[in-house]
């Protein structure tokens, strides 16, 4: 009957919505427990993280700012990008930053990959990053923070910790530097892992302009900049 079809459609939609929340929400514990905060010691701390690089147009400028401000960060790099620009991953590691695994090709439908393809994405990126930096990554972030039923097993095979974020900045959107600065400074909390990007695109200029001010403002509040 029409009523039964309506009830079934509502239940299906509700189930789909719940599944999408569990797949996309950074603090979901479905399939595995992500790291969204870092422990602070004697003072407030924050972990700046940059995804999707290295990019020749953005990553060197981020590294220059971090060096100038004496701040450390974590770069979740895409293996294919490291193959194109190994010197940038090498520089990040040499300057004291952590280089993490962000898959080999950043597949947009990560949560629907076959188990074999998922393992290849993780392990190929591990090898490429190690080849460029001589350091094997210990941390992994999936594209857009997506989960996968076998992700825990794939990460355990190569001793990777799953890292997401506490504060998503939406810096890939066309924000102004002031908007991005306010978004971070109004929402940051001690121990927060902050998601940024160094891939280029419409938000890159605002991020590069805002980053020095954000570092200065957080340091004025007593924050220490740590890696994951």
Could you list the residue range(s) of the whole structural domain that residue 25 is in?
1-30
The tally of CA atoms less than 13 A away on the side-chain side of residue 197 is 20
pLDDT of residue 16 exceeding 90: no
**Comparison of pLDDT for 29 and 88, the residue scoring more:** 88
From the candidates 102, 139, 148, 197, give the one annotated as an active-site residue: 197
Label residue 169 exposed, middle or buried (CB < 10 Å: 0-12, 13-18, 19+). buried
The reply to whether 197 belongs to the active site is yes
Q: Give CA–CA dist 223/185, Å, rounded.
A: 11
Global pTM exceeds 0.85: yes
The active-site residue out of 37, 51, 52, 171 is 51
Close Cβ partners of 63 (under 8 Å, ≥ 6 residues apart):
88, 91, 92, 95, 97
56 and 13 fall within a common domain: no
With the C-alpha atoms ordered 29, 140, 69, 184, is the resulting torsion angle positive or negative?
A: negative
**Same structural domain for residues 148 and 137?**
yes
Q: CB pairs under 8 A, 24+ apart, for 119-123?
A: 119/150, 119/154, 119/157, 122/154, 122/155, 122/157, 122/158, 122/160, 123/154, 123/157, 123/158
Which two three-digit tokens encode residue 176? 């102004």
What is the CATH number for 160? 3.20.20.370
Whether 97 sits among the annotated catalytic residues: the reply is no
Q: Are 123 and 160 in contact (CB under 8 A)?
A: no
Section 11-29 average pLDDT = 48
Residues 25 and 39 in one domain: no
Does 26 share its domain with 37? no
What value does the mean pLDDT of the chain take? 91
The strand pair at 167-168 and 161-162 is best described as: unpaired
pLDDT of res. 9:
52
Q: Higher confidence at residue 209 or residue 201?
A: 209
Same domain, 16 and 128: no
What pLDDT was estimated at residue 4?
59
Structure confidence at residue 1 as a pLDDT band (50, 70, 90): confident
Confidence (pLDDT) at 77: 99
- How many domains, the chain? 2
**Domain co-membership, 18 together with 114:** no
Contact of 222 with 74, CB cutoff 8 Å? no
For residue range 140-189, what is the model confidence (pLDDT) as tens digits? Answer: 999 999 988 899 999 999 999 999 999 999 999 989 999 999 999 999 99
Same domain, 20 and 60: no
**pLDDT, greater one: 4 or 128:** 128
Q: What is the DSSP letter of 99?
A: E
């Amino acid at each position: 009957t029409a009523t039964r079809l309506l009830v079934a459609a509502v239940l299906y939609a509700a189930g789909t919505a719940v599944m999408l929340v569990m797949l996309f929400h950074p603090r979901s514990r479905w399939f595995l427990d992500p790291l969204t905060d870092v422990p602070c010691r004697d003072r407030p701390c924050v972990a700046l993280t940059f995804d999707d690089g290295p990019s020749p147009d953005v990553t060197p400028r981020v590294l220059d700012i971090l060096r100038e401000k004496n701040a450390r960060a974590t770069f979740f790099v895409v293996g294919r990008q490291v193959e194109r620009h190994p010197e940038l991953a090498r520089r990040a590691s040499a300057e004291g930053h952590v280089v993490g695994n962000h898959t080999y090709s950043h597949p947009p439908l990560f949560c629907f990959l076959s188990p074999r393809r998922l393992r290849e994405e993780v392990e190929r990126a591990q090898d490429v990053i190690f080849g460029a930096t001589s350091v094997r990554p210990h941390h992994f972030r999936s594209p857009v923070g997506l989960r996968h039923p076998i992700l825990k097993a794939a990460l355990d095979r190569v001793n990777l910790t799953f890292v997401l974020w506490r504060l998503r900045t939406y810096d890939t959107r066309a924000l102004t530097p002031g908007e991005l600065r306010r978004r971070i400074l109004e929402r940051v909390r001690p121990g927060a892992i902050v998601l940024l990007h160094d891939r280029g695109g419409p938000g890159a200029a605002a991020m590069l302009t805002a980053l020095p001010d954000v570092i200065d403002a957080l340091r004025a509040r007593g924050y220490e900049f740590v890696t994951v």
